[in-house]
Amino acid sequence: MADKIRLGLIGASVSGTWSARSHLPALRPSTDVELTAVCTTRAESAEAARRAWDARLAFDDYRKMIASPEIDAVAVVVRVPSHYAPTKAALEAGKHVYCEWPLGRTTAEAVELSALAKARGLVTAVGLQARVNPALLYMKEQIEAGFVGEVMAVRVGLIRAGVLSRPSHRTWQRDAALGANTLTIANGHTVDAMRFVTGDFRRLSAVVATQAKQWLDTGTNTLLDVTSPDNVLLSGRLANGAVASVHVGAIPFAGSGYRMEIYGRDGTLFAEGEDSPQLSEVSLVGAQRGNQRTPMPAPQRLTFAAPATPSGEAFNVGQMYTLFARAIRDGKSGQPTFETAVELHRLIDAIREASDNNHEVTCP
């Protein structure tokens, strides 16, 4: 294997997309991963992305890129309905894969991909980047070290503005069947951050609602019918016995951002950010037994990304690439894997069941 892991990225672009805002800026300063190839659906855009991000190779067919002997690993950074096919092809070609979340449009797709990776002995990563946010890593450490003592209650919220309109290139997300909506993405990341820090739900009740039943397509100035949910409410008990509540919502205006509160017998921890913890910086504050709240910055040892990695959306992606490369080299997995994704897919299925049938469910 070369000095760096040689990566081919499917879904590259020059600007505007998730890959251009996060993956590609994170890869540029990486000391562990080389952006060897980029792939789009057109030769012209692939070549433009190659030049913009200093890749060596450009492809307009992911099958050709995956077949290249110059590629060790593949990143799949395309729309959710298109995750399955290139991920499966890469695994079948013996390539390690970092796929964005959700892993598949359905749980069945995710289960199949996870099983295939395991059978081939390949390293995987899934884009649940909140699990590598330094503040949440430190929060998890502090809970395990007994800072709050017995965890008694957890409250989590993520409220984002902008539910009433979308630009034309994002209106496809209005169809719940395509798998990219508030339940799967915003709620998926937020609930996964909680379960990473505190442990999973044992039982839960849920309301999954579509409050805004039409979106304004700002490109065509037309109203479009929506089936995708925009508000998710959860309540239940965690495996450790704590009670927990979660509200993830897309609302019209002035969203309040992200907050996770953990209340224990001996102390309290608060994590706050402007947006979901996989996207933005998070600050951690703690208090114990009557003491004042004190900022608790994450120690430097929990920063894995290369020093020049940009802050914001690219930072946690850079954290992921470092851990992904380490896992390929030494087999020590510190990143969320396809198995992690399957667990979350099944939890989201349980949330749907609880909401659809209006009863409490036992979590998988």
Is 199 contained in some domain? yes
Q: What is the CATH number of the domain that holds 184?
A: 3.30.360.10
Q: What is the CATH number of the domain that holds 90?
A: 3.40.50.720
Region 5-32: mean pLDDT is 96
Is 220 contained in some domain? yes
Is 312 contained in some domain? no
Residue 295, pLDDT above cutoff 80: yes
**pLDDT confidence tier of residue 354, bands split at 50, 70 and 90:** very high
The first and second tokens of residue 268, run together, are: 């309290």
Residue 35, pLDDT above cutoff 70: yes
The first and second tokens of residue 60, run together, are: 């307009």
* 111 and 239 inside one domain: no
Q: What is the pLDDT of residues 224-236, one digit of tens each?
A: 999 999 999 999 9
Residue 160, pLDDT above cutoff 60: yes
Region 46-69: mean pLDDT is 97
* 330 and 347 inside one domain: no
Is 120 contained in some domain? yes
**pLDDT confidence tier of residue 364, bands split at 50, 70 and 90:** confident
Residue 2, pLDDT above cutoff 70: no
Q: What is the pLDDT of residues 250-286, one digit of tens each?
A: 999 999 999 999 999 999 999 999 999 999 999 999 9
Taking a C-beta distance cutoff of 8 angstroms, is the pair 32, 60 a contact?
no
CA 198 – CA 88 distance, rounded (Å): 32
Length of the chain measured in residues: 364
Is 181 contained in some domain? yes
Is 311 contained in some domain? no
pLDDT (0 to 100) of residue 333: 81
CA 258 – CA 254 distance, rounded (Å): 13
User: How many domains, the chain?
Assistant: 2
Residue the block writes with tokens 């990486």? 30
**Strands (DSSP E) along the chain, which ranges?**
5-10, 33-39, 57-59, 73-76, 96-99, 124-126, 151-161, 165-166, 201-209, 214-217, 222-225, 231-238, 243-251, 257-264, 267-273, 283-288, 294-295, 361-362
Q: Specify burial of residue 322 (Cβ count, 10 A radius: 0-12, 13-18, 19+).
A: buried
Residue 1, pLDDT above cutoff 70: no
CA 98 – CA 113 distance, rounded (Å): 12
pLDDT (0 to 100) of residue 11: 97
∠277-279-284 over CA atoms, to 5°?
35
pTM: 0.95
pLDDT (0 to 100) of residue 331: 86
* 235 and 347 inside one domain: yes
CA 277 – CA 158 distance, rounded (Å): 10
Region 75-88: mean pLDDT is 97
Region 175-188: mean pLDDT is 94
Is 146 contained in some domain? yes
Please give the mean pLDDT across all residues of the chain. 96
Residue 216, pLDDT above cutoff 90: yes
* 119 and 150 inside one domain: no
Residue 238, pLDDT above cutoff 90: yes
* 90 and 197 inside one domain: no
CA 17 – CA 19 distance, rounded (Å): 5
* 294 and 324 inside one domain: no
* 35 and 64 inside one domain: yes
**Distances in Å between the alpha carbon of 233 and those of 20, 28, 229, 345?**
32, 39, 11, 17
Query: Do the bridges between strand 214-217 and strand 201-209 make them parallel or antiparallel, or are there none, so unpaired?
Result: unpaired
* 61 and 164 inside one domain: no
* 333 and 271 inside one domain: no
**Distances in Å between the alpha carbon of 191 and those of 36, 235, 244, 287, 347?**
34, 11, 11, 23, 9
Is 308 contained in some domain? no
* 196 and 110 inside one domain: no
**pLDDT confidence tier of residue 291, bands split at 50, 70 and 90:** confident
Structural domain harbouring 252: 130-303+343-362
pLDDT (0 to 100) of residue 332: 84
What residues have CB less than 8 Å from 357, skipping those under 6 apart? Answer: none
Quickly count helices (H) and strands (E) in the chain: 10, 18
* 266 and 333 inside one domain: no
* 297 and 157 inside one domain: yes
Residue 313, pLDDT above cutoff 80: yes
